[in-house]
Amino acid sequence: MKFFVFLSVGLVVFNTYPTTVWAEDAVELSEIHITGRKTPQSGARLDSGSKSVLYNSDLQSVRAISLGQTVEKISGVHNNSFGPNNGLPQIRSLTGSRVYLMQNGLGISDMAGISGNLPSAVEPFLADKITVQKSSAAVLYGGHAVGGAVQVETGQIPQQLPEKNFGGKGEISGGYNTPTTQLFNLTGKSGQIAWHIDGMNNKISSYRVPGDSKAAICHNRAEINTNYPLTLLCQVSRNYEYFFNQGFYKYVDRNYLLRGKDYLDQYELDISDVYRRDKPSYGNWVENPGYDPSVTEGKGRRLRSIEDVTPNEHGKMANSHMHQQSVSAGVSYIGADGYIGLGVSRYLNRYGVPGYASLSTRAGRKNALSPVNIESSQARWLLDGMYRSQQPWLDNVRFSFAHIDATNRELLGNQFADSLNSQSNQGRLEINYRPIQWWQGVLGGDWTQRRTNGEGVDRYLPDTKTTEYAVFALQKFNWGNWSTDIGARHGRTRQQAILGNYQPGRGLNEGYIKQHNNKMFELNSYQAALKWQPAEGWETGIRYSRSQRAPEVNELFASNRHYAILTNEHGDPRLQPETANTWEFSQQISWRNSRLKVNYYQTRFQDYIYLGQTGTDKGDGLPYKEWRQGDTRIKGMELEASHHFHLDRYGTLEAKVFVDWVKNSPVFTGKNDSNSSSWDEYVRRKNDGDYMPGLPASRYGASLVWSKGNWMLSSSLTHYLPQKHLGRVINEEISLGGYTIWDMYLNYSHQLGQSAQMEWFLDARNLSNTEARPHNSTLKYLAPLPGRSVRTGVRVSF
């Protein structure tokens, strides 16, 4: 590669001066030999889908506690928040088991996709690079990537020898309304052996918020009086007073006038039994001497007060503590033809779910209103290797294997309530080749086996076993200013429920789980893309994908109260795979120092799996919901534009703007009435609405990054519009309004001796101290985003 750079520069210089000058001043130069190897080919690099990459320099100003918070400023990507300590990437309105999360090439524990209050065991603070694949990546990674994929690279297993025998970096930071953080990252080599060690410690006692922790709508008398599901989401109770106005009624039982309370007691009557608006044709009724025509109500109830079941604190987010720790190590042998390495990591996290309690636990009445806390731990072993062939047609063969043992305990206060644990093994093989210059390809296969188990009286899922295996191929062809890629995947997924002593709760699954506890699904996914460069700097593309996903174990086998999501959750083992058909259109223009990128996409899901409302409960105070299927359409747009300004002696300035919006709506084909043949559609429209509940809000934003010498300053503004596309949670969803988030980052670096560098930084988030409640957050009524925070610290690299 360097040879071509030198050659290009030489040709420019040669054409700048007359040949006579070169002839007169000719100097004989010594010969220089440059050697090196190109970046290894991989399936991810061949995929032409829309993607965004955050490199180490980009990550400095956006790193956060959770992966969702770290990538949320990418257009089309939101943070699916479950409080300040936890959040998953939400890509084009899809998240959970539809977005595949990877670390160093293989998937991480996926329990967070099943239960949103559980953490994803990945540390953005230790990442060197994060790649977000916004298009479907199901061909490469299976149905869990039907909505995209996120790859986090930490360099745990070195793939090449580092330049220094010993080097690394360390960081210490803290401040106001932000965790205290200590981290280190060390690398080294000895001969052909390279090693890596990193670790991190994050801790905070609580977060501060502007205003109250609960949304104002939670104490709106008119709304709370008529909206029972909202009382559950707000964790409040309604206290009523009952009234009876005797003056409203024209007639009264004469016996009551004569004997009073004795008459009521003798015949076990209520006061309302002896008053009538119209005179009955039976009995001994006379005109009511207390009748008052001005009285307009006879009997009923009035909302007397709204009581907070869980605390509503002012200026503070209740139960928002967090203590997160991790350490990892890796070692590899690196030779002329590749590498092979082994790594191990350990992750620990204990945190509170803000403003949150179980209202219906069986872990003891004294714990019923205790705050919910999570204790999570994970051990992960990773084997990774690559063979770099000397054959011109074969680029490399890469293989990976991981074993993960994850434990997730849910506590009420300090009392154990239930657990959801998993043990999994994964294997992946890629054969990357380039038979001729214009053809690159990958053939591969992957395999996953996972077991989940749990304990506790509040567990909502039986023990399960999942086995997945697949083969895939992706081919890319380049011809002139045209390029295309085509790919296919075939696989099978088996989901088993191991019932044992597990007792299903009352509901849909109670009647099916024993007969349908072993399910096999055959899945096929395809993709094809075409790109054309009509002129230098202009690229236009079209992409189609058909992606299939098997139902996850909770969608099939859940059968109890899942208080983590405020739901009595019931799966349906009769569910079939969902199929997503997606068209994506892209335009990208680069001219001088400017760049414009636009994506429009539309997905039609057949048999989309969703958690549907029933409008009932089982007497436990939690809404009863069932996993169902129905056709669904997603469409949206993303726009990004940037420009680099060269300010001469004032440095450089980069300006960026972005816009994104997405709509996720059911597809209705029948009539909107209960007598139509499409009963399922009628129920879905009535209970869940014309849009999927909890959609990410449309937004737009701008950022500036200025740098000069040792200084770097960045600032960003992101405005979230009020959500207009409201679904239903029996009643219509409530929009909590729009908001603007202002962030800023300042960095100054300088040398320490000849081989070390020190950086001082200031990281400020939500500078305007705005009350922000994302519409796509499960806890939006209980916990806003943290208020103004300022973190300062120092990094040292050597």
Q: What is residue 216's predicted lDDT score, i.e. its pLDDT?
A: 96
Q: What is residue 670's predicted lDDT score, i.e. its pLDDT?
A: 72
Q: What percent of the chain has pLDDT over 70?
A: 92
DSSP letter (8 states) at residue 366: G
Which of 626, 586, 523, 420 has its CA nearest to residue 50? 586
Q: What is residue 31's predicted lDDT score, i.e. its pLDDT?
A: 55
Q: Is the pLDDT of residue 2 over 50?
A: no
Q: What is residue 6's predicted lDDT score, i.e. its pLDDT?
A: 34
Q: According to the 3-state scheme, what is the secondary structure of 340-385?
A: EEEEEEEEEEEEEEEEEECCCCCCCHHHCCCEEEEEEEEEEEEEEE
Q: What is residue 366's predicted lDDT score, i.e. its pLDDT?
A: 52
pLDDT class of 112 with cuts at 50, 70, 90: confident
Q: What is residue 363's predicted lDDT score, i.e. its pLDDT?
A: 53
Q: Which run of H or E residues covers position 14? A: helix 2-16
Q: Is the pLDDT of residue 30 over 70?
A: no
Distance CA 464, CA 550 (A): 15
The letter for the amino acid at 664 is N
Q: Is the pLDDT of residue 34 over 80?
A: no
Q: Which two tokens stand for residue 793?
A: 């610290």
Q: Is the pLDDT of residue 77 over 50?
A: yes
Q: Is 671 helix (H, G, I), strand (E, B) or coil?
A: coil
The sign of the torsion formed by the CA atoms of 188, 194, 197, 198 equals positive
Residue extents of the structural domains in the chain: 2-46, 60-94+99-213+311-797, 221-308
Fold of 60-94+99-213+311-797: Maltoporin; Chain A (2.40.170)
Residue 433: strand pairing partners:
394, 441
- Contact between 442 and 473 under an 8 Å Cβ cutoff? The reply is yes
The sign of the torsion formed by the CA atoms of 102, 106, 107, 108 equals negative
Q: Is the pLDDT of residue 464 over 50?
A: yes
pLDDT class of 28 with cuts at 50, 70, 90: low
Q: What percent of the chain has pLDDT over 90?
A: 77
Q: Which run of H or E residues covers position 179? A: none
Distance CA 627, CA 625 (A): 7
Tens digits of per-residue pLDDT, 412-453? Answer: 888 888 899 999 999 999 999 999 999 999 999 999 999 999
Distance CA 528, CA 73 (A): 28
> Pairing relation of β-strands 299-308 and 193-204?
unpaired
Distance CA 448, CA 469 (A): 6
Indicate the Cα dihedral angle 676, 680, 682, 687, nearest 10°. Answer: 160
Q: What is residue 23's predicted lDDT score, i.e. its pLDDT?
A: 40
Q: What is residue 324's predicted lDDT score, i.e. its pLDDT?
A: 96
Distance CA 468, CA 448 (A): 5
DSSP letter (8 states) at residue 97: G
Tens digits of per-residue pLDDT, 386-400? Answer: 999 989 999 999 999
State the average pLDDT over residues 112-128: 89
What integer best gives the mean pLDDT of the chain? 90
- Contact between 274 and 257 under an 8 Å Cβ cutoff? The reply is no
The letter for the amino acid at 185 is N
Distance CA 13, CA 17 (A): 7
For tokens 């981290």, name the residue. Answer: 183
Tens digits of per-residue pLDDT, 638-695? Answer: 999 999 999 999 999 999 999 999 999 999 887 666 665 578 888 888 888 999 999 9
User: Could you please report the per-residue DSSP string of 107-143?
Assistant: E---HHHHSTTSPP---GGG-SEEEEE-S--HHHH-G
Q: What is residue 1's predicted lDDT score, i.e. its pLDDT?
A: 39
Distance CA 681, CA 673 (A): 9
The sign of the torsion formed by the CA atoms of 777, 778, 780, 782 equals negative
Q: What is residue 507's predicted lDDT score, i.e. its pLDDT?
A: 72
Q: What is residue 368's predicted lDDT score, i.e. its pLDDT?
A: 56
State the average pLDDT over residues 509-519: 84
Tens digits of per-residue pLDDT, 722-754? Answer: 999 999 988 999 999 999 999 999 999 999 888
Give the number of other Cβ atoms within 10 Å of residue 614's Cβ: 17
Q: What is residue 4's predicted lDDT score, i.e. its pLDDT?
A: 33
> Model pTM?
0.89
Residue 303: burial class (beta carbons within 10 Å; 0-12, 13-18, 19+): middle
Which of 470, 593, 587 has its CA nearest to residue 523? 470
Which of 787, 788, 781 has its CA nearest to residue 312? 781
Distance CA 136, CA 100 (A): 10
Q: What is residue 762's predicted lDDT score, i.e. its pLDDT?
A: 98
- Contact between 776 and 694 under an 8 Å Cβ cutoff? The reply is yes
Q: What is residue 3's predicted lDDT score, i.e. its pLDDT?
A: 34
Q: Is 33 helix (H, G, I), strand (E, B) or coil?
A: coil
Range in 309-313, 405-409, 437-441 with the lowest mean pLDDT: 309-313
User: Could you please report the per-residue DSSP string of 607-627?
Assistant: EEEEEEEEEEE-SSSSEEEEE
**Terminal alpha carbon distance of the chain:** 28
Q: What is residue 413's predicted lDDT score, i.e. its pLDDT?
A: 84
Q: What is residue 765's predicted lDDT score, i.e. its pLDDT?
A: 98
Distances (CA, A) of 166 to 155, 326, 338, 605: 15, 22, 21, 52
Distance CA 357, CA 354 (A): 9
Residue 81: burial class (beta carbons within 10 Å; 0-12, 13-18, 19+): buried
Q: Which two tokens stand for residue 684?
A: 């879905």
> Pairing relation of β-strands 578-591 and 538-549?
antiparallel
Tens digits of per-residue pLDDT, 772-782? Answer: 999 999 899 99
Q: What is residue 410's predicted lDDT score, i.e. its pLDDT?
A: 87
Q: Which two tokens stand for residue 215?
A: 């949304």
Q: What is residue 149's predicted lDDT score, i.e. its pLDDT?
A: 97
State the average pLDDT over residues 17-30: 43
Q: Is the pLDDT of residue 505 over 80?
A: no
- Contact between 700 and 665 under an 8 Å Cβ cutoff? The reply is no
